[in-house]
Amino acid sequence: MEKFPPRRFRLKTGEELEIREAAPQDAGALLDYVEAISAESDNLTFGPGEFALTLTQEQEYLAAMQKRSNSIYLVGVLGEELVSSLSFAGGLRRRMIHAGEFGMSVRKGHWNKGIGAAMLGAFLDWCRHTGEIRKVNLRVRVDNQAAIHLYTKFGFKLEGRRSREFYLGGEFKDIFLMGLEID
């Protein structure tokens, strides 16, 4: 049985989004994607040129993610274009294996189409079906209202605030820590 069978979602625009697990052969496209999104949003932890993985390192990372039962790397594809990604890494030790943190991004040209909601919904369905994932955590800038609204809509709760997590344009930015308990 596949870890994550590919799924298709009809977006608000009528376009069909395919969500599937990333594979080592996606490494080149993912590195291009990451470089593109790094220039489109200040909500990421890195900027242009700062995501310093080689093609081989990215391939090895994706292969390792496929092997871990409590971790996943999803991509969203419209036609042939990679438009979104979501990665989740569960704990490595027995006491922490049930919990982890995810990060998600969508190409700016595709914001407000429902891609984030489709990705998050598919990911949380996977979490519930693993029987292993019991807690999902995330970090989000306190001024990223669109993301906070999405996470709250899916049941995430505010669990804390961390100050000065980002430094952008000469200003510090705080983040919220949010979490969702999986039953």
Task: Look at residue 49 in the predicted model and tell me its pLDDT.
Answer: 87
Q: Give all domains of the chain, ordered by start, each with its CATH number.
A: 7-134 (3.40.630.30)
Give residue for tokens 């308990």: 181
Q: CA of 122: how far to CAs of 14, 115, 125, 161, in Å?
A: 18, 11, 5, 27
State whether the Cα torsion 109-165-27-73 is positive or negative: negative
Unique residue bearing structure tokens 């996470």: 151
| Token digits of residue 45 | 């932890």
Phi, psi of 77 (to 5 degrees): -125, 130
What's the angle, vertex CA 134, arms to CA 132 and CA 135, rounded to 5?
135
Residue with tokens 């080149």: 28
Strands 171-181 and 81-90, by their bridges, are unpaired
Residue 95: the pLDDT is: 93
Positions of the chain with pLDDT lower than 50, given as ranges: none
Beta carbons of 63 and 24 less than 8 angstroms apart:
yes
CA distance 137 to 28: 28
What is residue 1's predicted lDDT score, i.e. its pLDDT? 65
What is the bridge-based pairing of β-strands 99-106 and 135-141? parallel
For position 2, what pLDDT does the model report? 83
